[in-house]
Chain A
Amino acid sequence: MARFLLLRLGLIVVTLLVISFAVFGVTEVLPGDVATQILGQGATPENIAVVRERLGLDDPWPVRYLSWVGGVVRGDLGESLVQRLPITEMVGSRLVNSLILASFTFFVAMPIAVAVGIWAGVHRNSLGDRLASMFSLVAISLPEFVTGVVLIILFSTTLGWLPSSSLVEPGTNPLTRPQILVLPALTLTGVMFAYVMRMTRANVIEVLETNYVRSAILKGLPMRRVIWRHVVPNAMLPTISVITLNIGWLLGGLIIVENVFSYPGIGRMLLTSIQTRDMPLLQALALLIAATYAVSNLFADLAYTWLNPRIRFA
């Protein structure tokens, strides 16, 4: 186990290094000059030169890369070019907001998706199974910005039940007004729900065909026990990998959904940073998202290991 953890943590460090390099490279080639962006179109070349000098934009790229990575390692993400604030401070509350939305989605949507998947797998080809499959197919095919807009039109413009934008007042936390979370979470759920539910269903059907489930049935066990003790734990193993993949989806979906609903999370911040050419902020956010993804993957792998005794002790 120690070996496994060590290996995985090492791999995460390597992954993040590669990503930091890629992110840095991408921001290098992005068009647009930061100094011009800050000073506006009418700036004189002298002023631009001064600003470039102060920001260290004229240093050769390896120097800038190393000083950036060095800062990140020390916990200093740098300073936003536009807002002139330390990024570490700016990101904090935004990150919390995003995590709240993501966890809200994850912990509501996943159990329901898994439960529906199990039910559909056990009652294969029943009316309910067909309906669930149909619904999930529709959900998979619709992108988030469509689902989001449809939901807004339905639940806020027409029915007026829920707010159409999910602004959070400064100094407060989304949980003080949880109703603003419902529509974004519902939107995010769509695609994830469909994938996880279909995968769970397929796995349940596969496990139902195995010899050990046959043994369990022929032991005379009640069907309830056969399903919960023999089918579900084994069907969950491959499902976990799919759920893990979905964390990536979820993080990507956040960027879109936060913008549709004006929700103050890192997704929205990311978009703003691109629009304003705020490179340090963009780099920091990209790295942060990558790190979140890598760490959640590690947790998923640990859960998998815990569920699967065959590799638990390897």
Chain B
Amino acid sequence: MSIASFLSPATQESVAPPAEGVPLLEVRDLSVTFYTPRGTVRAVRHASFTVRRGEVLGLVGESGCGKSTVAFATLAYLPGTAEVGGSILFEGRDLMTMPAGELRDLRGSRIAMVYQDPGSALNPTMRVGEQVEEVLHTHLGLSGQAAEERAASLFESVGLPNPARVGRRFPHELSGGQQQRVVIAMALACEPDLLLMDEPTTGLDVTTEATILDLVAELKNRVNAGIVFVSHNLGVIARVADRVAVMYAGQVIEEAPVRELFANPSHPYTAGLLSCVPAPVNETGLMPQLRNIPGSVYPASEPNVDACLFADRCPMVQDICRESAPPEIVANAEGHPVRCFFPERVDSDTWGEPAPRPRKPRSTNEAPLLQVDGLHQYYGNDRKKYIFFGPPSRRPVRANVDVDFAIQPGRTLGIVGESGSGKSTAARSIAGLERRTSGEVLLDGEPLAAGVGDRPRGQQSKVRMVFQNPAASLNPRLPIGSVLVRSIRKSRSVGKAEARGIAVELLESVGLDGGYMDRRPRELSGGQQQRVALAAAFAADPELIIADEAVSALDVSVQAQVLNLIAERQRREGTAFMFITHDLGVVRYISDDILVLYGGHVVETGPAEAVLRPPWSPYTEALLSAAPVPDPDAEPSRIRLEGAVPTLRQPFAGCPFAGRCPRNLGDLCDNTPPPMRVDPADPRHQILCHIPLEELAADQRAAMRGRSAVGEAPGGR
């Protein structure tokens, strides 16, 4: 059943044909200001763009640039304290002055939205079917069986498994990707004319993200709607957008067709964003150093000034940029608007030549710093149905099963896998935050106790951990200086004054000056907080730093700063890193060795350059294939994984990946544990698979033929 047939005759009549030449959506000089008790927030300062029917406008920028506010303003959904300037015209009618009743009729029926974090966008106590049916009921007057049937065909059209039954599920019974499909089905229910997608794949696994992006790309052709796609991820934007508007500090600073924008950015900020994303591996297998945009986004708390808001971070800033605001002018022969005085000067070297990274000395024969053998980590105990008797109802979660790896001094081990693969568990076990169930862990040849409290002080300060959310790991009441001084004095016997001196040096080493000593964490931006967290980890002069998704929540420009900081530290002090991330671009940039985990098992391990070339384990292949490429001309990759990492309560009968593997051989894979195969080209490279490696490599090379190059797929998350 096609979506078009969902429109009842009544609705079709009510759709007045828009006047000729009027764009579907026209945002004209929009400004949104929030007056809050903590100050004035200028979320949007100057945003102008149009969206036509049948096209996807990508809205890109770092956090705090006002992208989401623009999206919500388009549904006239802003808190009462917001002051809106300019206009948002939907088919020529201003949404800001529309009566509430008419607005309600538009919402959900002609303008619909898909949100970031689908888990929170769905009512947890309501079956998902009913959540879709209520839209059909409100706008199309459908109820009962008719509504149920249409909900089912909507579920089918967004690729949900078992569409007739899935409506009976509650949101928590669905995976993140399935939840997002439900939200999309809900948005499509009345065949909207305008679809707003606010970071719809942020927070989902790369594999899930890829399947959702496929769906969006398919929708683009199927429904004749205009789509506004908000994302901070250039790879994602490149995959789905037709045109792109780049936002900075609440302004649209550049707008261009997607190919034009990626090939020929005309604003230094756009060029900067593009050069912050970890780039493909070059011939030597070593990535050039990441360039970064210094500083952080012009704060929304600052007033509008008559100057370019990017001036403080711009490498080609001139006096005029600080004296007057650049008008929106036509940049070049292609004629795309850009808010800069010197658009013609922007090119790929605006942010400097990519400097080759100094090669690290190979140290393969050195004794490993950390040696992990047979690490098992189980959570929970066996439970029986009737407490003391009855069949077993719940087994422990097998988060890590027989994980082996080693880290050489001064090298970085990248650990990748989807959520639920056991990456963070491994990190927490090594750090001693969780007591491992079994396995041997040696640090410098000395056994490392399971719990951090049982380790001698010397060992404690040798291993440090940095977490994803710096705001949550820094004590909000302590000034930055005290955090650092504590950390220093815990591991070294120095006086207070001396410790403060070291603390200032540490802050400077992470690019913050001594003035930050007396600030509290909440006065700092996310990137600054993460640098403080790193400085606190450095304070103990550790030999190993475990970074669990330490750059995942940061904007690309800040992510580049932090990654370079880590690389720098490693080169100077020889610190080893265990770097956990779901972003393959980051892993490729930072890792010397890579460990791929799936369902708590190691499925591939080896030196980075070997792991990133075929043969891959089928899981690694799927991960690489799913990562979005910041290149609009890249062919959509071919391998898609549906579903999520399976429950880890049951031991796997065969290969852990068998249930989702596109190369599954059948009975063998399902029921016999696969061998760990050794790559003859490099014996440190090992793959858990039933398929012989020569065969895997041949198949994978054949599958890639015609595609640009080997695994050039950095994600820019």
Which residues of chain A have a CB within 8 Å of any CB of chain B? 2-3, 6-7, 10, 210-212, 214-222, 225, 229-230, 233-234, 237, 307-310
Contacts and interface: CB of A to CB of B under 8 A. Distances in A.
B135 interface: yes
B460 to A, nearest CB: 37
B125 A215 contact: no
Contacts of A10: 387
Contact of A219 (B108, B124, B393): B108
Nearest to B390: A3
Contact of A221 (B108, B172, B393): B108
B670 interface: no
A229 B77 contact: no
A80 to B, nearest CB: 39
B101 to A, nearest CB: 10
A7 B383 CA distance: 13
Contacts of B393: 3
Interface stretch (B24-32, B84-92, B114-122, B448-456): B114-122
A210 B190 CA distance: 24
Overall SS of chain A's interface: helix
A288 B392 CA distance: 37
B382 to A, nearest CB: 14
Given A215-B123, A220-B105, A229-B126, 5 more contacts: A215-B121, A219-B107, A220-B106, A307-B125, A310-B172
Contacts of B108: 218-221
A215 B386 contact: no
Contacts of B106: 220
15 contacts: A3-B385, A6-B387, A210-B120, A211-B115, A215-B183, A218-B77, A218-B107, A218-B113, A219-B108, A219-B135, A219-B138, A219-B186, A220-B135, A229-B134, A309-B170
B182 to A, nearest CB: 11
Contacts of A215: 113, 115, 121-123, 183, 186
B399 to A, nearest CB: 20
B104 interface: yes
Contact of A217 (B77, B109, B122, B125): B77
A211 B124 contact: no
A14 to B, nearest CB: 13
Nearest to A236: B125
Contacts of B125: 233-234, 237, 307-309
A210 B75 CA distance: 17
Interface string B371-394: 000000000000001110000010
A125 B113 CA distance: 30
Nearest to A230: B123
Prevailing SS type, chain B contact patch:
mixed
A3 B617 CA distance: 42
Nearest to B122: A212
A212 B108 CA distance: 14
A216 B393 CA distance: 37
Interface in B169-205: 170, 172, 183, 186
Contacts of A6: 386-387
A222 B138 contact: yes
B139 interface: yes
Given A219-B138, A220-B109, A2 B385 contact: yes
Interface centre among B115, B124, B125, B126 (most CB of A within 10 A): B125
Given A211-B121, A212-B121, A220 B107 contact: yes
A214 B393 CA distance: 38
Given A2-B385, A3-B385, A211-B117, A222 B104 contact: yes
A220 B387 contact: no
Contact of A212 (B104, B124, B135, B139): B124
A104 B112 CA distance: 47
Interface in B128-160: 134-135, 138-139
A7 B387 contact: yes
Contact of A234 (B124, B138, B139, B387): B124
A6 B186 CA distance: 40
Given A214-B77, A220-B108, A309 B115 contact: no
Given A212-B123, A217-B77, A310 B134 contact: no
B123 A216 contact: yes
A9 B105 CA distance: 51
Contacts of A230: 123, 126
